[in-house]
Structures are given as C-alpha cells and as structure tokens.
Amino acid sequence: MKDHTRALTRAVGCCLIFWMTTAAAQAPRAPSSAQPAQSNPSAPAPQQQRAPAQAQPDAGGAVVRYEVQPSDVLQVSVWKDPELTQQVLVRPDGAFSFPLAGEINAVGKTVEELRRELVERLGRYIPNVVLTVTVLEIRGNKIYVIGQVNQPGEFVVNPRVDVMQALSLAGGTTAFASTGEIFVLRRDNGQQRRLPFNFDAVLRGRDLEQNVLLRTGDVVVVP
C-alpha cells in the first residue's frame, strides 16, 4: 500500500514539474530596452542648416556721381544762420550767386565739391561755418530723342541713362525706323561727334559697347 502511494506521489510531482516548465517556455517576453529603434522610412530626413547667403558685389561697377547742370535748383543750408539758408537756381551759364561768396561756377561739380567751395569762401567771414548743399530739382540733365520714335522730344533724366533706355523713354522705334543706323550726336569742347548705335546688334547681345551712357545735351537720332 505504501509503495502504491509513493508511486502515485511521484507521478503527480512529475506532471506538476512538466506543466510549470511548459508554461514558463510559452510565456511572452518583454521587449528589451536595449533594442535599437527602427527608423521610419517615411519620416523626412533632417535638413542641414545652411549658411546665410553672402551679398554679391554689384556687377554694374562704380556708381556715377551726379554733376550739377544749368537750370538745377540747389538748397544751401547754413547752420544757425537762417538768412544765408536759401535756394539758388543754376543759371544757363552754369553759375549762381551766393551772399558773401560771390559767383560760384557749379556746372560739372558734385554737391560735395560745391559744399567745400562754399565753406572755404564763407569761412573768411564766418568762423567754423557748417553748411550742406542738396539738389532740390533736377532740371538740367536733359537728353533728346528725335526721328522715327513714337514719342520724340526732350527728356529730363535722373540718373543717367544709356541709349536703349532713352529709346524706351521715347516709346520705342516706329515700324519705319532704320534700327541699324541709329547714332548719338555729342558735343565735346565745342566739337560734335557721331557715335554709331546698332539697335539690332545690341538687342541680340552684340556690340554692347555701343550702348553708351548718355550725357547732358546728347541727341539720339533714329533715321
């Protein structure tokens, strides 16, 4: 009887151990925290930070300074002297009169050059004089476009313009214009010169040296 009881106890113990082992093997495992996260292929890639854009140098070269012309209106402001602060008109001969300074030749000079000249002359009477010169109205920087253009005439330009820009101001050429025979009349030291301008060539990017900056008094002729 005792032998039978012992055999039954061993059988029950073996079954219990087998069941516990099987249950432990089938239990789900917790994911390891050390496992690397998988990348999402649909997620956008991080963008690299770009350096700020550098300012590019001006391809147009040096800035052309404005030179005073006849008929321009200037403002001369003298600090702490309202009686000397006044507007002056540049006469057709290129000069203007100013109290204590006399006659000032203004044509072909910049406002800074005129300021220095006035400081030198007024400094004889006013110690440590401080003044400024500004251009109120530009009336003298005139060019002319005549011939086969839609709007021929006189044009006051500010700043200076080239031949192509002058033709644009005149409304462009007409259908009867000889665009390959345009020229500019320019007077230097009393002598008149003829500067050729081939509109068709310049329009195609050739002979660009013909597209000169116009000077005061230049006449663009479109035959």
pLDDT tens digits for range 111-162: 999 999 999 999 999 999 999 999 999 888 899 999 999 999 999 987 789 9
107 domain-assigned: yes
Angle, CA 116 vertex, CA 112 and CA 120 arms, to 5°: 170
Range of the domain at 218: 142-222
pLDDT above 60 (res 207): yes
How many angstroms separate the CA atoms of 175 and 149, rounded?
A: 9
**Domain end residue (candidates: 109, 137, 165):** 137
User: Is 216 in the same domain as 153?
Assistant: yes
How many angstroms separate the CA atoms of 148 and 112, rounded?
A: 40
User: Is 109 in the same domain as 131?
Assistant: yes
Type of residue found at 128 = N
Token pair, residue 124, equals 């004889």
**Domain end residue (candidates: 105, 137, 169):** 137
Q: Which is nearest to 113 in space by CA: 66, 161, 182? A: 66
Q: Yes or no: say if 60 and 46 are a contact pair by the CB < 8 Å rule.
A: no
Q: Which residue has the tokens 């500004």?
A: 134
Pairing of strands 102-105, 95-98: antiparallel
Say which range, 21-35, 86-100, 130-144, has the weakest mean pLDDT: 21-35
User: Is 165 in the same domain as 183?
Assistant: yes
Mean pLDDT, range 57-66, rounded to an integer: 52
55 domain-assigned: no
19 domain-assigned: no
Q: Which residue has the tokens 């002598």?
A: 191
Type of residue found at 129 = V
User: Is 124 in the same domain as 146?
Assistant: no
Q: Yes or no: say if 106 and 95 are a contact pair by the CB < 8 Å rule.
A: yes
**Domain end residue (candidates: 137, 165, 191):** 137
Type of residue found at 132 = T
53 domain-assigned: no
User: Is 196 in the same domain as 147?
Assistant: yes
190 domain-assigned: yes
Q: Yes or no: say if 151 and 171 are a contact pair by the CB < 8 Å rule.
A: yes
Token pair, residue 13, equals 């113990």
User: Is 155 in the same domain as 102?
Assistant: no
What are the φ and ψ backbone dihedral angles of 28, each rounded to 5 degrees?
A: -65, 140
Q: What CATH code is carried by the domain that includes residue 84?
A: 3.30.1950.10
Q: Yes or no: say if 112 and 132 are a contact pair by the CB < 8 Å rule.
A: no
User: Is 100 in the same domain as 165?
Assistant: no
Q: Yes or no: say if 183 and 167 are a contact pair by the CB < 8 Å rule.
A: no
User: Is 153 in the same domain as 197?
Assistant: yes
- Between 197 and 139, whose confidence is greater? 197
Q: Which is nearest to 147 in space by CA: 178, 112, 118, 109? A: 178
> In percent, how much of the chain has pLDDT > 70?
71
Question: What local confidence, expressed as pLDDT, does residue 157 receive?
Answer: 87
85 domain-assigned: yes
Domain count, the chain: 2
User: Is 153 in the same domain as 204?
Assistant: yes
Mean pLDDT, range 8-23, rounded to an integer: 49
Sheet holding 73-78, edge to edge: 86-89, 73-78, 131-137
Binned at pLDDT 50, 70 and 90, residue 65 comes out as confident
Q: What CATH code is carried by the domain that includes residue 169?
A: 3.10.560.10
84 domain-assigned: yes
Token pair, residue 11, equals 């059988």
What are the φ and ψ backbone dihedral angles of 74, each rounded to 5 degrees?
A: -110, 150
Pairing of strands 142-147, 219-222: parallel
169 domain-assigned: yes
Cα-trace Rg, the chain: 44
